[in-house]
Chains A and B, each alone.
Chain A
Amino acid sequence: MKPLDPRLVRTARAVRVHLAVTVVTGVAVTGFVLAQAWLLSRVISGAAAGMGTAELGWAITAVSVVALARAAMAYGAETAALRSAAMAKSQLRRRLVAHVTGTGGAAEEDGRPPEHAGGADSPGPARSSGAEAVWLSGQAGSDEGTSTPRAGELVTLATRGLDALDDYFARYLPQLVLAVLVPAAVLVVVAGADWISAAVIAVTLPLIPLFMALVGWHTRARTERQWHLLNRLGGHFLDVVEGLPTLAIFRRAKAQAAIIRRITDEHRRTTMATLRVAFLSAFVLELLSTLAVALVAVEIGIRLMYGLLDYQTALLVLILAPEAYLPLREVGARFHASMEGVAAAEQVFTELERRRASGVDAGDTEGDTRGPRSRARSRTLPENTPLERRRASGVDVGDTEGDTRRPRSRARSRTLPENTPLERRRASGVDAGDTEGDTRPPPGRTESGDRRADGRRAIGDGAVWIRMEDVRLVYPGREAPALNGVELLIAPGRSVLLAGPSGSGKSSLLSLLLRFTEPVSGRILVRAAEGGPAGLGASGSGAEWVPLQSVPVEEWRRRIAWVPQSPYLFDDTVADNIRLGAPDAGMDEVRAAAERAEADGFIRALPDGYGTRLGERGARLSAGQRQRIAVARAFLRDAPIVLLDEPTAHLDPDNAAAVRTAVIRLLRGRTGVVVAHDTRWADAVDEVVPVRAGRVESGVAP
């Protein structure tokens, strides 16, 4: 691990400011150290030569002035460092959040040329369409995707993880600067006074980092060898405590105490074996630095005795010699605590660069070596969308397309060094359809802007036909396709039940419709409702089939209301949770939506009614109530298409009945796709389509 990550310097402007301040303070502190040493040696030698308080008064006063100035400098440096740390953390955090959520992630401040990683370097389609964030949360795209380890890791990283940078900025970096400046200055001064002492210092100083590196390297090799054992031993106590209720019912709880002691003792023996070596690096540091001072002291003492040196010079050398080693020792002492901050920053950069790398991501393997608590990572969903893979392999990124996009994204990165919220919003394409071209290069070579306009115009504002043609979906890192050869026609205003066992690909179909992911091959086409179901290009009235990909993604999602299997509720009021898709809706509309979703009753019973805060993840509500809030969201969104994923799975009968009533109401007059593992929803929809092993079987009317 590097003591100073160049990416950190490049990325956060606060870091550059801090470095400049630190160097300036470092020079000043070095000056004070030299001044104090000289003044002390002057006064002591003066007193020895018989000078009194009167003659030495100026020097003694100067010592107090140096002390005051040094204290002021220490205070200022610490304050400035903490401020810089706060700024740098904020900058890193914002970049991280922008990156993973796909909002304004275009500000490539570090100026890495996009050509570096091919087309995948510019803001990827997955990113700006929000698909990246969806993948991170692990919620969608797979029937089994409910584990959310990566999101949790990122939250920790962005808060507690980055806080470790405080130490790095306020303690480590300043000492690092001093560790360069002070020894150099001391060497120069001592060399002028006594070259033999200078030689001793000059020889021992470089030995310290050298030995430390050697010992550190040896320790790491050793620790890595023992890592598995250590981890296993370390995690044992947690495992036993967590399993206490289970141990209790099998009457094994009491017997574990002896085992805990045995394992902890084993842990101690193993760890101590490692520590005996690990502490050697500190030992070398301490030994060399003190021994060098002792050698210098003896050497100047003897030369002084023979009159080869004057008293003041000898004192100056003696006072300065330890100062040469002090910053180095401080750096050593703070190394580990500070490296946590650097590791956190490094993790942020890994995140920021993750999407640029081509091919299947290797992030998982590193997770496996991290610790017992990261177990869930192994279940993490693969992180690259099929689309990304496709782009990386260069299959369908048209050359012209790539060329026109690259300069644009580069230009934007130059104009948006510190993206403001407004610019960010624009960049991500909420209120400027322009940038959406980046989100989805259409497979053809037509000028993308025209195509987008086409797409939007072609499907109008109303209900649409949706058609899947030979759609195939393979999640990266998996062999078996999630969907294969899917043929599906969804008529406007009618509802379809996709029924099939778990893992059959039902939810993947919803992901495709939500455009959380894109097919590997095959097409999804849409067409305005008035055109009828006839074949491609059959109508001249503007209602022709267009690829879904040519419709701007935000535009498309605006006509969808989605009720996921486990809807996410935010730590906000009930009303604002319902307003998710319609932030400007009035209270009356919210209440009407809740009524239709069978939610009004229980919401009124909450302490503050619609103004009740729901707590983290809607902890205040039961699963059935959460589901009804999600249905209310869909009502308020009032979108022509509704997608429902297992709306009543895992609900108790009373809640399930209420949700069912609400969902039937919601489906009325809308294009609806309901996903369920059985056919109990069959009588609520117009058509049932069985899904088996990634294939859609021919539809049957219920």
Chain B
Amino acid sequence: MIGTGASAQSPREAATGGGGPPAAPGRDPLWRMIALARPRSARFLLGVLLGALATGSGVALLSVAAWLIARAAEHPPITALSVAVVATRALGISRGVTRYLERLVTHDAAFHTLADVRVRVYRRLARTEPVRRFRSGDLVSRLVSDTDATQDLLVRGLTPPLAAVLTGGAAVLFCTSVLAPGGLLLGAGLVLAGLAVPLAAAALGRRPGRRQAAARGELSTALVDTLYGAPDLVAYGAMERAVQRVHDADAELTRIARRDAAVLGFGAGATSLITGLTVWGALLLGVAAVDGGSLSAVSLAVLVLTVLAAFEIVAPLPAVAARLGAIRAGGERLFGVLDTPPSIAPPADPARRLPAPGAAGAPESGLRVRSLCVRYAPDEPWALKGVDIDVPPGRTVAVVGPSGAGKSTLAAVLLRFRDPDTGTVRLDGADITACPAEEVRGAITGVPQDPHIFASTVRENLRLAAPEADDDRLWEALERARLAEEVRAMPGGLGTEVGSHGMRLSGGMRQRLALARALLAAPRTLVLDEPTAHLDPDTRDAVVADLLAAAEGYSTLLITHDLAGLDRVDDIYVVAEGEVVEHGTHEELAGREGWYARALRV
């Protein structure tokens, strides 16, 4: 599923381009979403037309039937009615058929659009790499559902109002031709019920919505605390108090919801009122016109029954108004992420390549970090301030330090998720910021913090790093990461599905799989960022040992807060608060009073 083989872009991909420049920020997110969707116009318009036909058939059925009956009451010859009879039957069938087709067409269009939108959103993300945002899994899944909400915008947000405008306009025109004031009255009624009432209801509902959202937030926090904190609460005999807090929050939410019900009922009442009064008005005008001789009795029946049926046209619109609000909120969040500027500046020369390792004339070899300073925003403290680190070819170097010391920022710079604010990072003498990120990642790669395991097979997850690799190479990498034995024992071997997020594997196996993947990429320098973060202590020690063994021969930078196995690395840098505070081998540091020695003792 992660498709290692299909690297070639289809011609259409190339034609639709790489996402294009973002639409001007600050515009209504709904318009930007429509622009993002660039609806497949023909299909979409066909859907609108079919929708209008479906609703129109319903209204026309009653108009024609009213004429049929009113005319029949005058006892004409049967031939006078035959057209109406046929039309009535046809309309009885056409409504269901057109509705069915409309649904198929709009959904198909929406899915087509979904593919477009997903690709565009993904391209934007791949270009800007807002990696910091990816720390929160919730944010990512919301981003994905917001992306998918654009299809909702088309099917449920745009089609019904457009179809209603078509049908409503036709109904008003028809009624005006029968009796001008009646038609105008219907027009006013439809606009009120279809536009004014939904908008007013949405406006009225906004404040209660916010109030309830706040109360619901309180309730949710109380619930989270009670359920997740249950062991602590139970052990300390505090469960009753926690439940009381939930009940208080619940009582408040219920109180607000009950009070707001009076406001939220407005829409239903107003729609019903407008419908009833418009029918009444049409009746009044019609009877007066018949009385005055300007309208026939047959036309009166047609007019009143058409007006009665016409409100079906605007029935779906209140729901649309509410839905558009939700879609707009999703759009705001979506563009909030999409408008993030790229986290690294484009290279001056996109064709620039790193010099081959050990190339003649290279001024230096290995990875060399000099006076590296990074901060995430001008008003934030420095995450790294003036760090110097050397990773000579073939050596293993560890960067340790307390959490929050800036270690992961270092990894982000090396993996090109982040530009240095000042200072340089040189690989074999070449500044890595001068080369395209792709080029650098061919030379420096590794295991990021929380490596993602895709919901696919072991094989596909591995071949991600080396699409051309055959099974022998995969086994070799697994062997080095000490995972081969376990994979052999799996029912499908390399073809075993690892489940979403690799959940069918243990934590240690996931880390080893990520390591094997990094080894397959065969970089010059391997960066391992907190490879043991979520492992239990025993697995941790084993994984570190295997990592270090597997990294033999690579230039390796191991970033960790854990000191296990560090007696086996060549060089250790202790980083605290963005600065290198100690540097030396394990023996040197252990013998010197400082953070490292203290940490060893604990």
Say how far A381's CB is from chain B's closest CB, in angstroms: 12
Interface string of B215-243 (1 = CB under 8 A from A): 01001110111111111111111111111
Q: Does A305 contact B (CB under 8 A)?
A: yes
Which residue in chain B gives the minimum CB-CB distance to A242? B140
Which residue in chain B gives the minimum CB-CB distance to A130? B234
Given contacts A237-B118, A243-B452, A248-B441, contact A40 B308 (CB under 8 A): yes
Q: Are A570 and B250 in contact (CB under 8 A)?
A: no
**Once bound together, how far apart are the Cα atoms of A248 and B147, in whole Å?**
20
Q: Which of B278-286, B370-378, B387-395 contacts A (4 or more CB under 8 A)?
A: B278-286
Q: Are A60 and B230 in contact (CB under 8 A)?
A: no
Q: Which residues of A contact B283 (CB under 8 A)?
A: 40, 43-44, 60, 63
Q: Are A94 and B69 in contact (CB under 8 A)?
A: no
Q: Are A256 and B126 in contact (CB under 8 A)?
A: yes
Q: Does B602 contact A (CB under 8 A)?
A: yes
Q: Does A564 contact B (CB under 8 A)?
A: yes
Q: Are A247 and B464 in contact (CB under 8 A)?
A: yes
Q: Are B115 and A265 in contact (CB under 8 A)?
A: yes
Interface string of A195-237 (1 = CB under 8 A from B): 0000000000000000000000000000000000000100111
Q: Are B62 and A248 in contact (CB under 8 A)?
A: no
**Once bound together, how far apart are the Cα atoms of A248 and B436, in whole Å?**
12
Q: Are B446 and A249 in contact (CB under 8 A)?
A: yes
Label chain A's interface by main secondary structure: helix
Q: Are A568 and B240 in contact (CB under 8 A)?
A: no
Q: Are B244 and A421 in contact (CB under 8 A)?
A: yes
Q: Does B568 contact A (CB under 8 A)?
A: no
Select A502's contact among B261, B499, B538, beta carbons within 8 Å.
Answer: B538
Q: Are A259 and B6 in contact (CB under 8 A)?
A: yes
Say how far B495's CB is from chain A's closest CB, in angstroms: 15
Q: Which of A291-299, A355-363, A432-440, A479-487 contacts B (4 or more CB under 8 A)?
A: A291-299
Q: Does A133 contact B (CB under 8 A)?
A: yes
Q: Which of B106-114, B357-365, B423-431 contacts A (4 or more CB under 8 A)?
A: B106-114
Q: Are B441 and A155 in contact (CB under 8 A)?
A: no
Q: Which residues of B contact A282 (CB under 8 A)?
A: 99-100, 103
Q: Which residues of B contact A379 (CB under 8 A)?
A: 503
Q: Which of B158-166, B297-305, B551-559, B584-592 contacts A (4 or more CB under 8 A)?
A: B297-305
Q: Are A82 and B236 in contact (CB under 8 A)?
A: no
Q: Which residues of B contact A280 (CB under 8 A)?
A: 100
**Once bound together, how far apart are the Cα atoms of A560 and B309, in whole Å?**
72
List B428-471 residues whose CB lies under 8 Å from chain A. 437-438, 441-442, 445-446, 448, 451-452, 454-455, 464-465, 467
Label chain B's interface by main secondary structure: helix
Select A258's contact among B6, B131, B273, B451, beta carbons within 8 Å.
Answer: B6
Which residue in chain B gives the minimum CB-CB distance to A264? B115
**Once bound together, how far apart are the Cα atoms of A491 and B13, in whole Å?**
74
Which residue in chain B gives the minimum CB-CB distance to A144? B536
Q: Are A372 and B500 in contact (CB under 8 A)?
A: yes
Given contacts A133-B230, A134-B234, contact A305 B76 (CB under 8 A): yes
Q: Does B35 contact A (CB under 8 A)?
A: no
Q: Does B269 contact A (CB under 8 A)?
A: yes
Q: Which of A96-104, A113-121, A182-190, A456-464 contacts B (4 or more CB under 8 A)?
A: A96-104
Q: Does B174 contact A (CB under 8 A)?
A: no
Q: Are B236 and A319 in contact (CB under 8 A)?
A: no
Select A581's contact among B221, B238, B253, B288, beta carbons within 8 Å.
Answer: B238
Q: Which of A396-404, A600-608, A647-655 contacts B (4 or more CB under 8 A)?
A: A647-655
Q: Which residues of B contact A298 (CB under 8 A)?
A: 68, 85, 88-89
Q: Which of A70-78, A405-413, A535-543, A688-696 contacts B (4 or more CB under 8 A)?
A: A70-78
Q: Does A562 contact B (CB under 8 A)?
A: yes
Q: Are A502 and B129 in contact (CB under 8 A)?
A: no
Interface string of B286-317 (1 = CB under 8 A from A): 11101100000110110011001100000000
Q: Are A258 and B13 in contact (CB under 8 A)?
A: yes
Which residue in chain B gives the minimum CB-CB distance to A250? B465
Which residue in chain B gives the minimum CB-CB distance to A151? B227
Q: Are B231 and A652 in contact (CB under 8 A)?
A: no
**Once bound together, how far apart are the Cα atoms of A501 and B107, in whole Å?**
56
List B64-86 residues whose CB lies under 8 Å from chain A. 64-66, 68-70, 72-73, 75-76, 78, 81, 84-85
**Once bound together, how far apart are the Cα atoms of A239 and B456, in whole Å?**
10
Q: Which of B90-98, B178-186, B348-356 contacts A (4 or more CB under 8 A)?
A: B90-98
**Once bound together, how far apart are the Cα atoms of A250 and B416, in whole Å?**
12
**Once bound together, how far apart are the Cα atoms of A698 and B108, in whole Å?**
70
Q: Does B41 contact A (CB under 8 A)?
A: no
**Once bound together, how far apart are the Cα atoms of A433 and B311, in whole Å?**
65
Q: Does B565 contact A (CB under 8 A)?
A: no
Which residue in chain A gives the minimum CB-CB distance to B256? A86
Q: Are A232 and B1 in contact (CB under 8 A)?
A: yes
Interface string of A258-274 (1 = CB under 8 A from B): 11111111011001100
Interface size counted on chain A using CB atoms at 8 A: 177
Q: Are A255 and B537 in contact (CB under 8 A)?
A: no
Q: Which residues of A contact B595 (CB under 8 A)?
A: 653-654
Q: Does A514 contact B (CB under 8 A)?
A: yes
Q: Are B269 and A261 in contact (CB under 8 A)?
A: no
Select A314's contact among B1, B69, B144, beta carbons within 8 Å.
Answer: B69
Q: Which residues of A contact B131 (CB under 8 A)?
A: 244-245, 248
Select A101's contact among B111, B239, B277, beta carbons within 8 Å.
Answer: B239
Q: Does B134 contact A (CB under 8 A)?
A: yes
Say how far B423's CB is from chain A's closest CB, in angstroms: 21
Given contacts A67-B277, A78-B264, contact A319 B126 (CB under 8 A): no
Band of interface residues on B = 35 or more
List A33-55 residues whose CB lies under 8 Å from chain B. 36, 40, 43-45, 47-48, 52-53
Select A155's contact among B69, B137, B220, B402, beta carbons within 8 Å.
Answer: B220
Which residue in chain B gives the minimum CB-CB distance to A234? B148
List B374-410 residues whose CB lies under 8 Å from chain A. 401-404
Say how far B387's CB is from chain A's closest CB, in angstroms: 18
Q: Are A238 and B144 in contact (CB under 8 A)?
A: yes
**Once bound together, how far apart are the Cα atoms of A265 and B111, in whole Å?**
8
Q: Does A106 contact B (CB under 8 A)?
A: no
Q: Are A305 and B111 in contact (CB under 8 A)?
A: no
Q: Does A687 contact B (CB under 8 A)?
A: no
Q: Which residues of B contact A235 (CB under 8 A)?
A: 455, 500
Say how far A560's CB is from chain B's closest CB, in angstroms: 7
**Once bound together, how far apart are the Cα atoms of A87 and B420, in whole Å?**
57
List A114-171 residues whose CB lies under 8 Å from chain B. 129-131, 133-134, 136-137, 139-140, 143-144, 148, 151-152, 154-155, 158-159, 163
Q: Does B268 contact A (CB under 8 A)?
A: yes
Select A294's contact among B65, B234, B437, B467, beta carbons within 8 Å.
Answer: B65
Q: Are A268 and B9 in contact (CB under 8 A)?
A: no
Say how far A246's CB is from chain B's closest CB, in angstroms: 4
Interface string of A660-672 (1 = CB under 8 A from B): 1000000000000
Q: Which of A384-392, A444-452, A523-531, A616-624 contacts B (4 or more CB under 8 A)?
A: A616-624
Q: Which residues of A contact B304 (CB under 8 A)?
A: 40, 44
Given contacts A250-B464, A268-B111, A290-B91, contact A653 B602 (CB under 8 A): yes
Say how far B131's CB is from chain A's closest CB, in angstroms: 5
Q: Are A255 and B276 in contact (CB under 8 A)?
A: no
Q: Are A248 and B417 in contact (CB under 8 A)?
A: yes
Q: Does A494 contact B (CB under 8 A)?
A: no
**Once bound together, how far apart are the Cα atoms of A372 and B497, in whole Å?**
13
Say how far A317's CB is from chain B's closest CB, in angstroms: 9
**Once bound together, how far apart are the Cα atoms of A562 and B235, in whole Å?**
7
List A539-555 residues whose CB lies under 8 Å from chain B. 554
Q: Does A628 contact B (CB under 8 A)?
A: no
List B1-48 residues whose CB lies under 8 Å from chain A. 1-4, 6-10, 12-13
Select B233's contact among A133, A249, A272, beta carbons within 8 Å.
Answer: A133
Q: Are B402 and A375 in contact (CB under 8 A)?
A: no
List 5 tightest A-B contacts by C-beta distance, closest first. Answer: A67-B276, A294-B92, A75-B269, A653-B599, A287-B96
Known pairs A264-B111, A680-B602 / 10 extra A-B pairs, C-beta < 8 Å = A67-B273, A79-B264, A83-B258, A259-B6, A261-B12, A287-B97, A297-B68, A311-B73, A318-B69, A428-B240
5 contacts between A and B (CB under 8 A): A257-B9, A295-B92, A302-B78, A516-B235, A677-B537
